[in-house]
Structure 1
């Protein structure tokens, strides 16, 4: 209250140039609430402009979610704008979840926060929702956390669910992986059998994270088939009862610690190959012949060497005989000179 008289006195005492600013201060001093209300009005208009901008931009999405009972608020859409989350993907995922009858509860369902977190983690939100809906329709237990973990682990969760519903057939061996079209196995009688099998598998969702892939299943099945054929006495039994092999292979539990469950193993084709046993025996006989020839050649060489040694000894003995015969006349002459031998009397 004391401010108005002071400002009035200052305005009268001030020069003409300063009279107008002091008058304005006097006006501000008389009505300070008008300025406050003006600032509030400007701030409200600013907020309304911002909300209007976001409503114009995301109003269609919010209305779509509202009409679909997808529980997506306008503030959530504004938050997605600042967190660099694609609101179209989140709204579409929530709408699909709601229309499919999935739980979209904010506490334990497919909430907006969970979808945003999975999107920011680099996951494929739509692929996860499609997988959950497919599993829900097929009555396969699969919740959002499990599906998101499978997706973030690098596995195709939708393909896994589809494989669970519609089993997948794997060729054993797989030409695209190994370049071979058949497995080569040898029975006990030495006959080669060329086998081609087809393995029907479905996804084991509980072991999908950390479970072995298709390559492991193919390797295990191929090893079991070769081992089963190798334990049979002859190839006729395998040709008569190919299911004997599949029963033995299935009983081994080859799908343990893998991401798949083996439904069946079918022998698609069996061809009789070479007589490996006879060829091995022939090779062994040829090798034995070569060894025998080498040993005979060695003995012949030893005999020839021994013969040469005997010839040398004969020549040495002959030389010694010649030397001995040369000593006989000398001994006779010495005996004549010594009188030990006299000439025979001719009378």
Structure 2
């Protein structure tokens, strides 16, 4: 009796596993949904998707949406795009949106855009409804040396044909910033920029900045213009400060040379004074100078020092007393 119950339990478990495998590899519910939605797909096709490790729901549900929208898509191409790592559902949604907006978007181009890493549905939406890209604050200097800071808003529309291989928003922002700097830099003074900010827009638009990008520039509007620093005055101040430091350095160099020359002259005087005793001794030995002559010379020097001292005292006292 116990053996029979065990056998029955094993058989029941195997039956459940078999049914789970059957319904896993044969998605009957999805097949029925496709049939009632007007999509003709065979059970063998769904089983083949399972064997190729493709989720049938990721293919059949977008195919149902496309069929209801009147699009004729090939299930083999959809499965190939899924195997390549693409997002079939998003591509089909983009195709439906493009068809409703009368935008020519073939299957191959849509899948290429998706595999290139771009959002094909967003591209279609931007193509229908243009978006606005705001540039960061761009600072430039007019010819009068005054800094002008401008912010631009660029209205762009996606170019479906150039989405694959075309540059993105960063390139648009960089080019508009470059054109803004060039336009402000060519102005005679900052007042002209403040009075006619639309001149920046015209100048930038004339340069064809959307070439080679995935967008088409519709308009460029200057949202804000501010006056910045006086760069010309700051440069002149810095130059004057640098000239001052150079002049001070040269003056210090001349002073050092003068001090060195003075010290050298003093050294020569000391050296000459050191030769006086030697000359006196030589004069005594040779007989050119007598003892009395030497004493008279000493007296004259003492008298001279005394007169100099008296003259200095008179100068300090305000002159001689009369």
TM-score, with structure 2 as normaliser: 0.75
Match of 1:76 among 26, 45, 54: 45
Residue 222 of structure 2 corresponds to residue 289 of structure 1: no
Number of matched residues?
A: 271
Q: In the alignment, which residue of structure 1 is the partner of 2:82? A: 119
> How far apart are the structure 1 equivalents of 2:85 and 2:288?
127
Please state how far the C-alpha of 1:317 moved relative to its aligned partner.
4.2
- The answer for unaligned runs of 5 or more in structure 2 is 1-18, 291-322
Is residue 140 of structure 1 aligned with residue 109 of structure 2?
A: no
Instruction: State the shift of 1:68 in Å.
Output: 3.6
Q: Distance in 1 between matches of 2:109 and 2:287?
A: 125
Alignment of 1:212-227 (within 5 A): 212-227=167-182
> In structure 2, the residue corresponding to 1:113 is in which secondary structure?
helix
The aligned counterpart of 1:259 is 214
State how far apart, in whole Å, the 1-side matches of 2:289 and 2:166 are.
Answer: 113
Q: CA deviation at 1:264?
A: 1.6
The runs of 5 or more residues in structure 1 that have no matched partner are: 1-49, 105-109, 174-181, 336-347
Please tell me whether Structure 1 or Structure 2 has the larger radius of gyration of its CA atoms.
Answer: 1
How far 1:67 moved relative to its partner?
A: 4.0
**In structure 2, what is the Cα distance between the partners aligned to 1:244 and 1:322?**
92
Change (3 A) 1:333 1:303: closer
Partner residue in 2 for 1:87: 56
1:78 Cα shift? Answer: 3.5
SS of 1:193's equivalent in the other structure is strand
Per mean C-alpha deviation after superposition, the further-off stretch among 231-240 and 317-326 is 317-326
Say which is worse superposed, 277-286 or 205-214, in terms of deviation: 205-214
What SS does structure 1 have at the residue aligned with 2:182? helix
Question: Residue in 1 aligned with 2:67?
Answer: 98
Output the CA distance in 2 between the equivalents of 1:333 and 1:317: 20
1:277 is matched with: 232
Name the CA shift for 1:114/1:315 in 2 (closer, same or farther; >3 Å). same
For 1:130-209, list aligned pairs within 5 A.
130-173=93-136, 182-209=137-164
CA displacement at 1:265 relative to structure 2:
1.6
* CA–CA distance in structure 2, aligned partners of residues 283 and 61 of structure 1: 78
Normalised to the residue count of structure 1, the TM-score between the two structures is: 0.70
1:306 matched to which residue of 2? Answer: 261
Deviation, 1:303, is 1.5
Cα distance in 2 for partners of 1:147, 1:213 equals 17
Change (3 A) 1:100 1:304: same
Contact 2:166 2:213 in 1 (8 A): yes
Q: Structure 1 residues 318 and 96 mapped into 2: Cα distance closer, same or farther (>3 Å)?
A: same
- What is the root-mean-square deviation of aligned Cα atoms in Å? 2.8
CA gap of 1:94–1:320, structure 2 versus 1, over 3 A, is same
Q: Report the Cα distance in structure 1 between the residues aligned to 2:233 and 2:142, rounded to whole angstroms.
A: 12
Distance 1:311 1:264 in 2: 82
Q: Distance in 1 between matches of 2:174 and 2:159?
A: 18
8 Å Cα contact 2:140/2:148 also seen in 1: yes
Q: 1:334 to 1:257 in 2, by over 3 A?
A: closer
Q: How does 1:241-256 map to 2 (within 5 A)?
A: 241-256=196-211
1:60-87: per-residue Cα shift (whole Å, max 9, x none)? 5444434443333344334334333333
Q: Secondary structure at the match of 2:164?
A: coil
1:97, 1:308 → 2: CA distance?
Answer: 102
